[in-house]
Amino acid sequence: MKKIIISLLLFCAISLSALAEDVMPNVVSLSNTNTYGVYQVGSNIILRKTPDDKAPIVKVIKIINNTLEPANLSFENVFVVYQGAKKLAYMAVSDENEDWVELIYNNKTGEKGWLKKDDPYKFLTWVNFYNMYSKKYGLYILNGAPDSVLEMHGSPDDTSKVISKINQPQKINLILIKGNWMLVSVMDRDMSPKTGYIRWRSDEGIKYIFPAIK
């Protein structure tokens, strides 16, 4: 019996550790408001003070077996999205040019540095990022989003008529993005399908909705 209990405790510890490795935003945040989009990084992230190969290095971050070096960094502070099993790691982009991206490596303090692009297609604007992942996985509403986000409009305008309301969504599917609005189809818990426009971000860039990447 003692061995069984110890085995169960170890299993739970391993499971919790694995879950902790994945990062997905669950609350409305101001940390990535004034950003252009995201960049998919590799396991060795070398950030420089300016977009120049000879510029001083401000930070080196390494992902080793789903742990971060230096150890005082957390996945939540470094990444917008991180999924270890898929080797999927996105950081917020605060600026970019043809060859470099400026990445926020601390979402709490706003500290940033420049990374040389190894593939231009790894940079995604927020609209491209949402289009890529939301159409595949759907969307979810972040905690702290205003109640008005649940209102489905007939057109992408705050003054347009509210034609329906999201109650307990089982799935939110993206159809298209128009500015700060999305045309979505929603299946509520009562299995009633609804289609309309909802706000996915504020005029200031605060995001209320995020792709449900799995």
Full pLDDT tens readout for the chain, 214 residues:
444 333 433 334 333 333 346 999 999 999 889 899 999 999 999 999 999 999 999 999 999 998 999 999 999 999 999 999 888 999 999 999 999 999 999 999 999 999 999 999 999 999 999 999 999 999 999 999 999 999 999 999 999 999 999 998 989 999 999 999 999 999 988 788 899 999 999 999 999 999 999 8
As a whole number of angstroms, the distance between CA 200 and CA 196 comes to 12
Q: Which two tokens stand for residue 114?
A: 């420049």
| Residues contacting residue 8 through CB under 8 Å, at least 6 positions apart | none
Is residue 56 a contact partner of residue 48, using CB atoms and an 8 Å limit? yes
Q: What share of the chain is helix, strand, coil (3-state, %, to 5)?
A: 20, 40, 40
Peptide bond into 169 cis (omega under 30): no
Question: pTM for this structure?
Answer: 0.86
What pLDDT does residue 17 have? 37
Q: How far is CA 82 from the centre of its chain?
A: 8
Long-range CB pairs of 54-57 (<8 Å, 24+ gap) are: 55/114, 57/113
Residue at 28: amino acid letter: V
**CATH for 128-211, options being 3.40.1130, 2.30.30, 2.60.40, 2.40.10:** 2.30.30
Distances (CA, A) of 107 to 80, 110, 125: 8, 5, 18
Of the candidates 167, 175, 176, 172, which has an alpha carbon nearest to the alpha carbon of residue 186? 172
In this predicted structure, what is the pLDDT of residue 188?
86
Spell out the alpha helix ranges (H) of the chain.
2-21, 75-78, 126-137
| Amino acid 43: pLDDT | 95
pLDDT of 14 reads 37
Chain mean position to CA 112 = 17
pLDDT recorded at residue 1: 47
Helix, strand or coil for residue 6? helix
Domain boundaries, the chain: 22-118, 128-211
pLDDT of residue 152: 97
Q: Which residues contact 52 (CB under 8 A, 6 or more apart)?
A: 114
Six-digit token pair at 205? 């860039």
Report whether 142 contacts 31 (CB < 8 A). Answer: no
For residues 156-189, b (16+ Cβ closer than 10 Å) or e, as one string?
A: beeeeeeebebeebeebbbeebeebbbbbebebe
What angle is formed at CA 145 by the lines to CA 142 and CA 151, rounded to 5 degrees?
110
Structure tokens at 15: 């499971």
Tell me what pLDDT residue 21 has. Answer: 64
Paired tokens of 136? 């595949």
